[in-house]
Structure 1
């Protein structure tokens, strides 16, 4: 017969206060018995174990103390031990504080794109201020580690922490969309930015820089598609959650089946996933429309005519009299040509892809004022119930569209809410990419062309993220806090 092992935890052993003076032991915070003489702890909270430790280690030295003298000796050693522990605790807390301060300063540096070597300059400024304003704290300021190697290491850790936060949020995405753009930095490296915009079931929107992909070889549509695939795998995002892709219209992005858009279309078709929107950046379209026509031939005669009419009061009065004489609908300076008509035509052509999603946009913008015949069949019953609800109609009139959809009851409007979440995830422009490229040119300047790809990614992630790094989590993962030497 096999005997069962005793479980010490189940015996509910407690520390007896008499063991203090008797055996020179105290109870620690983790409910263990610790010797005040040698600081050793016993394995089991049991008098036999405590007595055996005292008799084998300290009996010969401390048996001569008895009565009041023994109590005083015990209290004296105990106070000394507590003082030592408090000093250690204060030192640990001090080291933690200066390390936390170091991370906060490095976060500010990375957010502003400052060089790693600026940490030494910032510390020198701090020491000058401390020596003048609070000289008694100068040593504490001197312990803040801002050396170049410390700034580099902490920038990496802050970037990793933000990346982990984004991955955690991405786990709950109902839908997500991508905004992508590619540009070459000063070291001739092609940098692909992948922004992600996701919406969860609570209608919380997350818009973050998901990846900075440094491409040292070719930058074909297939190459970019492979980088996008890696990013989605890194964030554990599925293709069937993809709602939209917004690009700038470049050949490697949007042209034919070989461009990124064509590659993604093929992938979705192979997986039999319908419904993703592919959008050419609205701002980029507007700029292309402006370049389609040379309207200087329009502007020059307009400027000349306006100057002639407005330059002389008599000319202006005669022009107004002429308009009245011909019963014109205009009262002053009308001007219209065929070239302005052609420009309007280009706008219609460029924005035709948005026309194809017009009914979805109208439905998302105002579900109370849409034609039921124009909406998907699966949404019609929920829309009928919604349009008959006066309370929700009033909520919609408040003008906060995201708040309106967030407050829709899930049991009554699950399909409508899912549809709205998908529309809310779509990027209209690649403006966030253009902003980040501007920051990249500042960070990787002519004086910092040797900045590594990983460090560039960490800096951009910190500087462009809507999430703040959780310094407490970073500190918890550290066993020791190293101060500056």
Structure 2
């Protein structure tokens, strides 16, 4: 522990700039804990991101109390306030108060050392995402689903009967999930599970004589809203995962949020009737070709359905835009992360494998006609195949292996 702290101090001496991430919360004993993380960058762009300190606040947690703890840690590290570039918090009032909050005091302290230095204060992007629930207006979906899950899982006997019922019907899942109101994003997983088991749940309710209490499961309009909720919470969960973890850079987060905002606009224009499946016809082929050749300019709404969301991610990533302009199209698609862009990669493979013309056939026919002339008509088919293969291949034969094989052959006398 001492060694690690010493190493961090050594690295901190060379920080050109540094940022702080602060989060204040109560532990199991209701003691307020202030967690401080630091990320610094040296002159040669070496980035260090480490846990800096945990400060217990057993008394008041006013802005001045938090500032005193942070200030003590910064001065102990011998860090200059004028090098502080950013502070990110969860947006709580004692941290962000306009006049007496922690951030106001930090800004004043930085200006004492350097009046021209402005600290960038950010509200934790993950916390902002969690606020989305309050404006989704999906209570007419959330409440029945939570009620349904509680009905099945609240009583031990009924819960066991439901599990047995799922086993007997060979369902894909063997239970429902609980929703934690503390971690609201768990609602996405709950929704997904209920959606996948909706047929079995309906049958179980009918068996128990409770179908009348959950009429939503037979209401097509409600099911459409439910399907939308399943999708939107799934995408929120996906965004949440992308925003988590150490070594996350702001530009990457911005890319992910920008892509998600574009997806929201896209979702708002799409039909919510998830029960309808559209089949691809020959009229879809131009969409495939256009998407494959010009992925950055292709309108996601007119692209094949399976690549629409991936196109939004692709078009929102400026790093990939630069790569697209510097690489051959095949190399560009080969460079795409398979886990992130599986459908685009697959679509590109399908396009690239198509023949654009019959030139190769005509070329081969020419070779055949030249070799199988009237005076060489005695060529066997095997001979001709060999000639055509040699004439048209781009592969390089293993001449060493062929030479060794030739050495082993002996002519008969």
Q: TM-score, normalised by structure 1?
A: 0.31
- Greater relative contact order (CA < 8 Å, ≥ 6 in sequence): 1
Q: TM-score, normalised by structure 2?
A: 0.36
Larger Rg: 1
